[in-house]
Chains A and B, each alone.
Chain A
């Protein structure tokens, strides 16, 4: 197991290098350049070229990449030429904001979704099963900007129960910060709930059909022991893999929710950096998200291994 984890961690390095190269290359494709972004559409081409030269943005791509990589790995993440702020603290702060929102949402989504899914699975074809399946699935298809606006209009504008932004005033304690995050977390829950609940339901149904469940029931185990000891544990395998895959989205992909709730997360940071050709900011943000995405996948795999002896045994060989 330790060797497996070590190998996966080592694999991070070449993956990150590949990602960083891709970001540089793709940013090159975007129309415009950083000098034009800083000076605006009315500056002359000469002025723009002069600034690009000063910033080193006119050097060939490999040279720029090599110089960026050299600084980046030695811990010098640089200063954004567009915003004139240091990259490292900016990215870390945005990442921290995104992690807080993502974990808050996950803490609510995961138990709720699993409970609903397993319950529906145990009561297959009952009215409750249909009700859960249909309602969670319908909520999943509501885009987050729609549910977000509706929630804001009802709970922030009309009822004034919640603030209209997601960012608590500076210096607020954790409870206040979480209070501010309740509204933005709901659209994420609506989307994820149906997805995860469905996996849990399918997992439960599959396990229920297994001979060992029949054995457990026939040997007279109490129902709760069958469910918690056998069904739940085995039904979780596909669910955990799905959750692992969703964490990446929850951290880096919340551009819409972040914009709607004026929350300075890393999704918006990446979007702004790419539209303003702020390559070093974009690199740092993308790599930070990539690390978390890969770590969450790794974590999911490890949890699956712990839950399922077969996977564990397969890895040991």
Chain B
């Protein structure tokens, strides 16, 4: 029902450190009389650093692309970095690979019918938080940056971006010649007003939780008509993610936005809102003055109109897709969509994603204070079987660490596999030789009840009796502050949406001061490693720190991470140009029906 948990109550003590290589060169330059290093020099140093990493085998080409895109290198620039790495051919951008995949030539015109979850509340870009609302707003308003399906970033309203040497000022060059659909130009003033509104405590925006401690009201400054500087509260290596489509409230609004979006739907997006019936439908027609053009210079969007059909029931959504009543499903859920997998008229795009269901074990509650009990539970899990049963085998297997193998530069730690003998031994060592009973509290939401059943079944052979307490979604998230049910039960299953980096997960759920720590895990070594991790842009150093953290996390097992849920998008076979969701953003600019 709801898009999930996307917070960062960040208070990072972040001392910026340059890559070692760069520091050495920087020191050399000082001796040679070059006193300061300009941001441009820093950029080129960073580029060298990335190339070195790849050549040393400490980073893959894909990881280079991702890191380079965060640092504001354009696709072309990143491509030339790859070329500089030597060796094999460069990997292509998602857009290029789509056009190379044998799709027919784009056809203009027509209406696309897309199924989406109904928005829970009225559409307001500042406060939306659910799948339906985010997907719809993204059609009419745009982000500075788009997060692509492979976690790279590319500019939408921002043409380029780069940090200063310290990493606490990020300068964005805006795209010129963009207008809002009321004819007024999009300029730096609009960015400043939007960011000031989102960071204003009175706006009620969920973006504050994300930006807290990173960007304060007044921190966004106009440099000139088309240049904006974000003066951060502290250096933050991953800031561009915070103003990308993965941070969904950050669409750019007109400077005089008055909170009445549905009555006055102004944005720079490719579509114009024609008719909106709450919980039922939304009709969008193409914006004739949209700035975007495709690679061959054709005006975007290709199609004349999009009809959004809001469907809340997953069985109904599946049936509508099967009957051909809709062309595309914005988000296809695993549960209830099985019938679509084998439908010969459909294709289902799969994107490895980082959404997951966290099984948290509260270390402040018996018997989870003993790490051996937590490890034993982890050793009971048959992850391959879970993946098969819950996700049709399409998920990425998890290893009880938030450093999913999907993330760029993810550490490699030993796989955790089912081992009942070891689990029993650990339980015996912990004084539970005769077995023990635990209670798993969880919610009626998506596949969570089935997951809980499987955990119960898989724990049984080790002598762990799991009592299930399945409550409603509303009950699970009820209560105030730290007393909320999901934050205070001994063991629970909580859903987390896609996150752009492992750091965002750690910040929200694994630190002593994390707002959403259901495990209440308090590990000072891990926390201090994390602080170092966030303060270095050196990829080799980051990998070393990440490996240490992942090892500690897996050993301590505050939470089980058994599967990283692949995102699906089902569509008719004759629909092309629809890319995967890097977030809930559903880009239909280049969509067409052959």
Contact = CB atoms under 8 A, between A and B. Distances in A.
A binds B: yes
Interface of A: 30-32, 37-48, 50-51, 82-85, 90, 145, 149, 152-153, 156-157, 160, 163-165, 167, 259-262, 264, 268, 272, 275-276
8 contacts: A37-B120, A42-B210, A43-B206, A156-B323, A157-B322, A165-B325, A259-B313, A262-B320
B208 A44 contact: yes
A219 B47 CA distance: 109
Interface in B1-38: 2, 4-7
A45 B320 CA distance: 39
A158 B312 CA distance: 22
Interface string B417-450: 0000000000000000000000000000000000
Contacts of A156: 319, 323
A235 to B, nearest CB: 40
A168 to B, nearest CB: 13
Contacts of B322: 153, 157
Given A41-B129, A259-B313, A163 B325 contact: yes
Interface in B203-260: 203-206, 208-210
A40 B130 contact: yes
Contacts of A268: 279, 312
Contacts of A160: 323-324
B319 A42 contact: no
Contact of B121 (A30, A44, A82, A259): A82
Nearest to A156: B323
A227 B365 CA distance: 74
A153 to B, nearest CB: 7
Contacts of A90: 278
A45 B480 contact: yes
Q: Which 5 A-B pairs have the closest CB atoms?
A: A40-B129, A31-B478, A84-B122, A42-B206, A259-B313
A283 B121 CA distance: 18
Interface residues of B, number: 44
A262 B262 contact: no
B201 A157 contact: no
A269 B360 CA distance: 35
A38 B123 CA distance: 10
Contacts of A167: 280
B486 to A, nearest CB: 10
Interface string B305-328: 000010111011001101111000
Nearest to B122: A84
Given A43-B205, A160-B323, A38 B478 contact: no
B316 A259 contact: yes
A126 to B, nearest CB: 40
Contacts of B280: 167, 262, 264
A157 B319 CA distance: 7
Contacts of A51: 204
B279 to A, nearest CB: 7
A163 B323 CA distance: 8
B206 A40 contact: yes
Nearest to A148: B315
Contacts of A82: 120-122
Given A30-B474, A39-B204, A164 B130 contact: no
A46 B120 CA distance: 21
* Interface core residue of B262, B279, B479 (most chain A CB under 10 Å): B279
B481 interface: yes
B514 to A, nearest CB: 14
A41 B319 CA distance: 31
Given A40-B127, A42-B6, A264-B279, A276 B316 contact: no
A260 B315 CA distance: 7
A150 to B, nearest CB: 11
B311 A262 contact: yes
B477 interface: yes
A97 to B, nearest CB: 11
Contact of A260 (B316, B324, B474): B316
A149 B129 contact: no
Interface in B461-479: 474-475, 477-479
B121 A37 contact: yes
Given A37-B120, A42-B206, A157-B319, A259 B312 contact: yes
A164 to B, nearest CB: 4
Contact of A42 (B201, B209, B278, B313): B209
* Interface core residue of A37, A39, A276 (most chain B CB under 10 Å): A39
